[in-house]
Amino acid sequence: MKLSFNRMEWAGSMGDLGTLLPLAFGMIMINGLSATGLFLTVGLMYIVGGLYYRVPIAVQPMKVISAYGIAMALSPQVITASGILLAVVLLVLGATGLVNTVARIVPLPVIRGVQMATGILLLTKGASLIAGSNSFQTMRGAVEPYLAFQSIGPVPLSLILGLAFGVVTLFLLRSRRFPAGLVVVAAGAIAGIALGAWRELTLVQPGVHIPSILPFGFPSMADFSYALVILVAPQIPMTMGNAVIANRDLSHEYFGEESRKVTNRALCVSMGLSNVFSALVGGMPVCHGAGGLAAHYAFGARTAGSNLIIGGLFAGLALLLGDGAVNVLHLLPMGVLGVLLFFAGSQLALTVQDVSSRSHLFVVVVMLGITLASNLAWAFGAGICLCHLLDRGRIKI
């Protein structure tokens, strides 16, 4: 596939900011991770992934680790330990081919269940950012933490911005002249500046910023033990389901033969190597989420040019602004990020359309219910068991 850098690729490159930025902000401000290391990891992973796979590929925080890490305010040493452990697991699975054995026992309805559950989670997270009830906003005590005011009368500013930009996105979603993703991000940043976020730019110090190696030191055995039980164990099945199997399936659905390099083994190895680098520079554990791919595709990404665009922007911010990169990204209001996340989730959830049988649709619905009540890791395991029981006639729906 040849690279393209047109307006649609620029728009598509911005599509997953709604997932990435709130979690990245939380891990920098609450867990103390290095903004330079975090954004450099994201940028390089986008660039190298695009050059290797030759189709759009997503870069996202690992959800279990980031959400739990932020909620519990875990130390950067524990986060680093979880990244190292996950890197080892992913590299072993990919290098040995064991991941293909895992993939063979995962039926299509379970893949669709993972995609549906992830899509609904993203959609609801987007809605919560728009409503001002997201955990990050609650933690900061403001619906728009970086803007000069928080409401117009009784109406939260995030809701006003979210509804306004949501309507714009609906009208422009299929436009090639004014791509929705590009318009929303550009106009959102302008709105952020006009509403007071310009103050964040006064904290930026341009220069050449090289990330430190192991800025928090090497994790202790206690850090590794805690990370293994609390963070890594529940993250592995979610990563296998969403970032490997479902992501590979979605890439082949979108790009066909052009995504031939997107294999289970390649995804494991690229995520493993990325997490080695991220741990070394004080960044966050990262993955290739199916939800991120759906977001990039929904807003117009069709070639790996979108990867080079967003990767170059993140890498440039990290190297030229260092920890000040996060202040530039604060220009985007939470309500605008919520719109991007809402439409990305909708796109991913719609992949369930090819599930036609009653029993397989039941698997998808059960997985969605378990995900909303507990987490995707449990839903992934339950979906595999349920699907095999249904296919063997042990139970009937």
| Residue 362, pLDDT score | 92
Cβ–Cβ under 8 Å, residues 123 and 115: no
One DSSP character per residue, 120-165 reads HHHHHHHHHHHHT-SHHHHHHTSSSTTSS-SEETTEEHHHHHHHHH
Distance CA 36, CA 27 (A): 12
With residue 286 as reference, give the H or E element that holds it.
strand 286-287
Domain boundaries, the chain: 7-107+134-337
CA angle in degrees (0–180, nearest 5) for 133-136-138: 50
Q: Phi, psi at residue 60, to the nearest 5°?
A: -135, 160
Whether 390 contacts 359, CB under 8 Å: yes
Closest by CA to 283, choosing from 120, 59, 133, 114, is: 59
What is the distance, to the nearest Å, from the Cα of residue 38 to the centroid of all Cα atoms in its chain?
A: 13
Short-list 59, 13, 7, CA closest to 304: 13
Can you give the pLDDT at residue 285? Answer: 95
What pLDDT was estimated at residue 263? Answer: 95
CA distance 378 to 386: 12
Reading the chain (397 residues) residue by residue, the pLDDT tens digits are: 688 899 899 989 988 887 788 788 878 877 889 999 999 999 999 999 999 999 999 999 988 788 778 767 789 999 999 999 999 999 999 999 999 988 887 788 888 888 788 788 878 888 988 999 887 788 888 999 999 999 998 999 999 999 999 999 888 877 877 888 788 888 999 999 999 999 988 888 898 999 999 999 999 999 999 999 788 887 888 788 889 988 999 999 999 999 999 999 999 999 999 999 999 999 999 999 888 898 899 888 999 999 999 999 999 999 999 989 888 888 889 998 888 888 878 877 887 887 778 888 999 999 999 988 887 778 888 888 898 888 887 777 7
pLDDT reported for residue 377: 75
Each residue of 337-347: b (16+ CB within 10 Å) or e?
A: bbbbbbbbbbb
What is the chain's Cα-based Rg?
20
Residues in the chain: 397
Beta partners for residue 61, in sequence order: 286
Residue 14's closest CA among 61, 65, 56?
A: 56
Distance of CA 54 to the CA centre of its chain: 20
The structure tokens 């559950």 sit at 117
Q: CA–CA separation, 79 vs 27, rounded Å?
A: 9
Which CA distances in Å does 265 have to 116, 314, 315? 23, 26, 26
